[in-house]
Structure 1
Amino acid sequence: MNVTTGLFYVFSAVLLFAAFRVITARNPVHAALYLVLTFFQAAMIWMLLKAEFLSITLVLVYVGAVMVLFLFVVMMMDINVENLRVGFWKHFPLAAIVGVVIALEMAAVLMGGFRVVDDPNAVAAAAEANNAKELGKLLFTQYLVQLEVAAAILLVAMIAAIALTLRARKDSKYVSPGDQVRVRSADRMTVVKMDATQAAVAPVAEVSEPKA
């Protein structure tokens, strides 16, 4: 067993432990942190498989953006953990069976794709290939339409999320930026001349006392 195989087993063991703790941790913050650890271990396994682009994407997108946002949401919301865990162990055996079945199905599908390549030229070409470059070629040539459709769907989803959450509140004050831009200096302050409501009182002269 070489170093790469040993690291693969180590990362896989930590990944399985962290994934199990994601669903068994009582604190949602701890579960989110275990999920971050799971993503890191998956990224390291992809790095061992020489899928550098997927590894860096997993760290930047999921760990750097999604999980940080999820942690902020979990810590800012008042979540009743006890109500969320009601009936967990009751449904755990069924969920474990479904998970094992899905894992076996994925293993059956993926194991058929691992073939031993006997052609030395193919092995040398695969070693010298840049997977990020090849992935970019596929995305912007063969799968360009699918990429554009996915980008349009994400844009529509983002606009819909903003429209659904942007609600006018009665207790908040709002000034239209257009009105602020169109305002003139004469509209901001008006000097009004008014007559005095009371007559001015004449000052009383001070009387000095005679010296003895």
Structure 2
Amino acid sequence: MDIRTGLFYLFSAVLLFAAFRVITARNPVYAALYLVLTFFQAAGVWLLLKAEFLAISLVLVYVGAVMVLFLFVVMMLDINLQSLRQNFWKHFPAAATVGALIALEMAAVLMGGFRVAEEPKALPGVAAAAQAGVQYSNTKELGKLLYTEYLYPLEVAAVILLVAIIAAIALTLRQRKDSKHIDPAVQVRVRAADRVQIVKLPPSLPQPPAAAAPAEPKA
């Protein structure tokens, strides 16, 4: 067994353990951290498969952005774990049935992948570079495919993401009575004369002390 096979088994073992701890950890923060470890191990497996672009995308997008957001949300929310565990055994049969069904479906898909099939057709640029013995970049070949053969699906996906971003912004722009909203246009048009008014007042003099009342004569 060479070092590449050993690394594959190591990454796979840690990935399965971390994925199992994601669904069994009682603390949601620990579950999110185990999910981060799972993403790193999957990125390592992709590096062994020479898919550097997918590996770095997984680390940057999911670990660097999505999971950091999840951690902030989980740590800021006051989650009552006792209330979450109250009805666990009540819903366990339905959850076990769904989990077993998903496991059977995944097993059927994976077992079909071990059958002997025709070799996948290699990309034209990759095949030519491999025959010539020249080092090629899978990121470059992926970019060529995205912006040539899959240009329209890429644009459709970009438009869908843009609509989702606009919808998320529109959902947050609600008029609330308890929020102190400031219109930026009003701030730009403001003038100093509208905010500050200088009033000239006469100088104030100290008030003279009151004269003492004359003492009454004694009888």
Matches within 5 A, 1:189-208: 189-192=196-199, 201=207
Tell me what 2:37 maps to.
37
Identical-residue share of aligned pairs (%)? 60
Which residue does 1:64 correspond to in 2? 64
Residue matched to 1:163? 170
The SS at the match of 1:168 is coil
The Cα of 1:91 is off from its aligned counterpart by 4.1
Structure 1 range deviating more: 107-116 or 167-176? 107-116
Aligned to 2:113: 110
Partner of 2:189: 182
Unaligned runs of 5+ in 2: 121-126, 211-219
Secondary structure of the 1:142 match is: coil
Distance (Å, rounded) in 1 between the aligned partners of 2:2 and 2:50: 16
Task: Give the C-alpha shift of residue 157 in structure 1.
Answer: 0.8
TM-score normalised to structure 1 length: 0.81
Q: Match of 1:10, as an amino acid? A: L
- Where do 5+ consecutive residues of structure 1 fail to align? 205-212
Preserved contact between residue 129 and residue 136 of structure 2 (Cα < 8 Å):
no
**Residue identity opposite 2:177 in structure 1:** K
- Deviation string 1:113-143 (CA, Å, 9 cap, x unpaired) is 87669xxx77934983311011000111111
The number of equivalent residue pairs is 201
Question: Are residues 18 and 203 of structure 1, via their aligned partners in 2, closer, same or farther at CA, if it must alter by over 3 Å?
Answer: same
- Identify the residue that residue 46 of structure 1 maps to in structure 2: 46
2:97 aligned residue (94, 98, 101): 94
- Give secondary structure in 2 for the equivalent of 1:37: helix
Distance 1:105 1:123, change over 3 A: farther
Identify which range, 44-53 or 175-184, moves more after superposition: 175-184
Report Cα offsets for 1:68-118 as digits up to 9, x if no partner: 00000011111222333423644453244223213213313433587669x
Q: Kindly report the root-mean-square deviation, in angstroms, between the aligned alpha carbons of the 2 structures.
A: 3.0
The answer to which of 74-83 and 124-133 deviates more is 124-133
TM-score by length of 2: 0.79
- Tell me how far apart the structure 2 counterparts of residues 122 and 102 of structure 1 sit (CA, whole Å): 38
Tell me if the contact between 2:18 and 2:37 (Cα under 8 Å) persists in the aligned partners: yes
The letter for the 2-side match of 1:35 is L
Pair 1:39–1:113, CA change in 2 (3 A) = farther
Offset at residue 194 of structure 1 (A):
6.4
Q: 1:203 to 1:72 in 2, by over 3 A?
A: same
Counterpart check, 1:8 vs 2:4:
no
Distance 2:155 2:115 in 1: 31
